[in-house]
Amino acid sequence: MTTKTAAAAAQATVYGYPRQGPDRELKKAIEGYWKGRVTADALRSTAALLRAANWRQLAEAGIDEVPAGDFSYYDHVLDTTVMVGAIPARHREAVDADPLDGYFAMARGTQDVAPLEMTKWFDTNYHYLVPELAPDTVFTAHPAKQVAELKEALALGLTARPVLVGPVTYLLLAKPAPGVPAGFDPLTLLDRLLPVYAEVLADLRAAGAEWVQLDEPALVQDRTPAELNAATRAYRDLGALTDRPKLLVASYFDRLGDALPVLAKAPVDGLALDFTESAAANLDALAAVGGLPGKRLIAGVVNGRNIWANDLEKSLSTLGTLLGLADRVDVAASCSLLHVPLDSARERDIDPQIRRWLSFAQQKTSEIVTLAKGLTQGTGSITGELAANRADLASRASSPITRDPAVRARTAAVNEADARRSQPYPERTAAQRAHLGLPLLPTTTIGSFPQTGELRTARADLRAGRIDTAGYEERIKAEIGEVISFQEKAGLDVLVHGEAERNDMVQYFSEQLTGYLATQHGWVQSYGTRYVRPPILAGDICRPEPMTVRWTSYAQSLTQKPVKGMLTGPVTMLAWSFVRDDQPLGATARQVALALRDEVNDLEAAGTSVIQVDEPALRETLPLRAADHPGYLAWATEAFRLTTSRVRPDTQIHTHMCYAEFGDIVQAIDDLDADVISLEAARSHMQVARELAAHGYPREAGPGVYDIHSPRVPSTEEAAELLRTGLKAIPAERLWVNPDCGLKTRGWPETRSSLESLVTAARTVREELSSS
């Protein structure tokens, strides 16, 4: 195979890079600052060192143009809110008094001031802080962060390209501020926002930027003519500026569709597009509009969201086709590398041959550089790399890890009846109420309790051999005993064992299922300082033995109240893993569902009357285009029902979802056929309760009354008022009282106080109902 040589040398670049450092140094510094152990200057110094290390690493790997401004203490959308001066009024005083503390207050809240709402970044597991805008919002330019980080990169002698959230995406991600009348559309503020972007661009040009990247991923979603017109106006006006750097508009995560001609015709200097499998239609669409004559094209041919080695020959073929469609073709990942871990070479516990199948951020950087070289100099210049890549791909395809005949036979035998409960909901709920005997407005938690330093130390001691398994299990028993005791004293109605033995809600299960690989250093940012190690789903899935029955049964032995069995659902097991890309997601989901079904059946047989199967990722995994929704929701809801359908009618099935916009999947929530659903609702002021009511959702629901992603403790009256709001949408006989999410990241003092407020609020509202 020979690829034609590019007219100009293809550059290698990336849109963003993991922020945390090889050993999560940023997380440790920020949390140290919050606790008063690290000064602001020390935090800034750590951050500067991490940025410089990232840039040097990229440059040494052969990246020609490094990103600047993608680094963040908490969230790049929050950074944009600061850049355009859109600080909510309730946070203005704190930001003016101390910009760093005010920044973190917007992210986390304080005891007196609520934080910004948090939700998922498109269909990823990254969370962003939602801008709050109003008709009277005044934008002002504050690009000090962006300018300073550009200057840092330039001072190292590097070519750097600032990366900003684009103005259209910023407004489309925003929501009306609390108290703003219904019907306000933040996109109406575009003409007010564009002059601020013009000022930022001028400042970046003055600081030495040749190119600035404006990210517009919102344009890969279905957009109305008015929204596409807004994009047209935005880039017409920004492109017409005389005092600006060259503009590169980037979009990723899916095909651009109707937005591609808009951007192709815009008076900007280049586009950065996703050409991986999910967005392959961009290639034909680009050809259909006549390409990008006279413009730069950055081709995202390396998957920035998954960890499998790139098929270099396939990517070179795509790049070769693109050569005739733009004045200049450069090579990149499909999106920021924020979504993958840093370096697979550190995973020494994974078999070396299997490790060669993997590509984390550093390895993806090498792939990008190799592809740019092959595109410029021809495939003869990278024969060794191509041969090694072919061997790695063949090794994975032929590995026995990837196919288990017994698993495939079982999944092939599944029929429609296997995913259907034996009785309809009205009959089940009568049986469950008789069996459980719960009060009106029953109280519960979502599952996890604080993971204390003592628990983490015990886990580390076990791994290091400083304690044996028996010693570790005694510590777990003691923690479960404390959690059960507290819940009984607090007056909660349905208890949990607290998940003291679990490191992560996906990793814990993946380590006990065949087909998964675990990493030691594969950290990925979920939000702020919350990092997770997504397991790698490499092969066929089965459950060799029970995973949760022992500890759930032990907890139940300590109390007469029902203790929930806690499982992570099949969709979330996929969404929060790096999933295999060699078979349809639906086929993998069915395998996971059958493994979890065995666990559900064993929990019930052991006496567990309430079983929760969490699916927080159901909405996050929803495809970005409406045309793709039905196919996804069909297999996703089937997988949940397949997991839960074999239980008795009097066994109550719960599910949980959090931190996403649920309005467009209410029918899918209904299709799960769970008896009870708990959802995040505190920051959105019970919006999801209204959405459930508008749909006519017929089952029980617990919209959260305690925002667990903030350190603030809600008052009893605050929780009671949220409950009263919930009751306007959901009848009392179907309303549960619970936090937004699990309590793993919270400390014990705030957890105790918050749950006591929650229980007291439930009692208060019960009394109000009984006296009305």
- Catalytically annotated residues: 709
Eight-state DSSP code of residue 181: P
Distance CA 270, CA 567 (A): 47
Distance CA 406, CA 39 (A): 57
Contact residues for 289 (Cβ-Cβ < 8 A; gap 6+): 260, 261, 264, 265
Minimal CA–CA distance to 594: which of 647, 646, 644, 643?
Answer: 643
The residue written with tokens 């790698």 in the block is: 536
Strand partners, 12: 331
| Kind and range of the H or E run holding 527 | strand 524-527
Strand partners, 677: 655, 701
Q: How distant, in Å, are the alpha carbons of 15, 151, 175, 201, 645 from that of 207?
A: 20, 7, 32, 10, 61
Give the CA dihedral 46, 48, 53, 59, nearest 10 degrees: 170
Looking at the chain, the number of H-run helices and the number of E-run strands are 28, 20
Minimal CA–CA distance to 620: which of 577, 576, 578, 584?
Answer: 576
Distance CA 558, CA 535 (A): 33
CB 123 within 8 A of CB 621: yes
Phi and psi at 562, nearest 5°, equal: -65, 140
Which amino acid is located at 761 in the chain?
A
Distance CA 474, CA 465 (A): 15
Q: What is the largest CA-CA distance in the chain?
A: 84
Q: How distant, in Å, are the alpha carbons of 9, 138, 279, 373 from that of 12?
A: 10, 39, 20, 9
